[in-house]
Amino acid sequence: MTGTPSVFAGLDARLPALRELYQDLHAHPELSFQEVRTAGIVARWLREQGWDVTEGVGGTGVVGVLRVSDGPVVLLRADMDGLPVLEATGLPYASTRTGVDADGNEVPVMHACGHDMHVTCLLGATALLAADRDAWRGTVVAVFQPAEEVSGAQAMIDDGFAERFPRPDVCLAQHVGPIPAGTAATRPGAVMSASDSFAVRLFGRGGHGSAPENTVDPVVMAAAVVMRLQTVVSREVGANQAAVVTVGSLHSGTKENIIPDTAEMKINIRSSDPAVRTRVLAAVERIVRAEALAADTPKEPEFTSLNSFPLTLNDPDATATAVAGLGSVLGKEQVWTLPQPIMGSEDFGAFGSAMGVPSVFWHFGGADPGLFPDPDPASLVGGGLPPGVAYNHSPQYAPLQDPTIELGVRALLGAAGQWLGIRTS
């Protein structure tokens, strides 16, 4: 707003506390829908800043609302959950935590996807907004979402989100990624792929390992399924289309000389086009059922849905507006246009879809720029990363604290400022 100081005037003074917060969150990750400690920290910070706070939304979600005047309503979202990954970053604040997953297994827990950075950046943005209420207009809804990895956005929506909080004019969110710190990347339209995850149980007939002729071996059947699934993308999806089929979990049996009765696998499918999604899902089911038929199983395979995310779609007009805001704080040349959707998936789009409002999602850099001799947005969509750069979900993944925290705060407020009238310089 003309004549007012930049909303970033107090950022430098807040960075030490934000770094400390980030290290604490990184050292204490929590699995999806178990983010009790993280949610408590978020709620305390928001209340101390002067936000109207609601806890327990969709389980462990936290929502802060701050209204300074009539005008646009902007939703800003950060996700909070960690992953069942054993950290191998070697950082002094590396996680040594364990947790119990949805199947009752004790697992290591790590912030392997950068959600701790998302929380830190959004709390930095909310602090600046609350401290300088004359520098902007309208209302901000700050959403700290649980369980992004397993449809936490839908859980918040199912908990009456649209009825309980101000309806936004736009929904904005960002995700830290393995691109140079100081850059951001997005595109209009599809920006993240659809994701479908399900479990498959194959039924055999168990027996002694010395007499396989008296059994139907589910281990052999599962192995055949895994190998055959590799042909779905290579032989049933066009070279100009995109899909990924991953078997991330396969379990069967307890002893080397006992042929078990069942084998269980968990399959994930990514796709960037609705028609491709339909074709790949059908192909996977067809292959599983055909292998079971070929093995003469005593029972049809069982399919159990685990989660499903649609395409993350950026509204074209809102994306152009947000990109202008990102460019105002990062530099226009630092805001990349992705050549195609990223094959990773997100549930953030559920907020905009449920409320019928536009949304914009972008990636911002958290990697050492010195590791990128020839920076290219294609590295996020299958172009390959330089040596020494870890991708999200890796045991080695951890964004740089500096300058990522500062730039993540600036990116959020730069984009939101296009609606809120924030003076950023």
Q: Is residue 121 part of an annotated ligand binding site?
A: no
The answer to whether 175 is annotated as binding is yes
Amino acid identity at 240: N
Query: Per the residue annotation, which of 116, 148, 346, 406 is the catalytic one?
Result: 148
Residue 332 burial by CB count (10 A; 0-12/13-18/19+): exposed, middle or buried? Answer: exposed
Q: At what angle do helices 36-49 and 11-27 cross, to 10 degrees?
A: 160
Residue 113 annotated as part of some ligand binding site:
yes
- Residues whose CB falls within 8 Å of the CB of residue 47, separated by 6 or more in sequence, listed in order: 53
Name which of 338, 388, 386, 333 is nearest 363 in CA terms.
338
406 in a known ligand binding site = no
Spatial contact of 362 and 168, defined as CB atoms under 8 Å apart:
no
d(CA 262, CA 327): 55
Contacts 24+ apart (CB under 8 A), 64-67: 64/126, 64/140, 64/141, 64/142, 64/144, 65/139, 65/140, 65/141, 65/142, 65/165, 65/166, 66/126, 66/129, 66/130, 66/133, 66/139, 66/140, 66/142, 67/138, 67/139, 67/166
Contact 239, 165 (CB under 8 A): no
Q: Is 158 a catalytic residue?
A: no
Strands 359-367 and 170-180: parallel
Rounded to whole angstroms, the Cα distance separating 66 from 121 reads 17
Give the angle 157-159-162 at the CA atoms, nearest 5°: 50
Identify the active-site residue in 79, 81, 87, 261.
81
d(CA 272, CA 280): 11
148 is catalytic: yes
Would you list which residues are annotated within the binding site? 113, 115, 149, 175
Would you list which residues are annotated within the binding site for Mn(2+)? 113, 115, 149, 175
Catalytic (active-site) positions: 81, 148
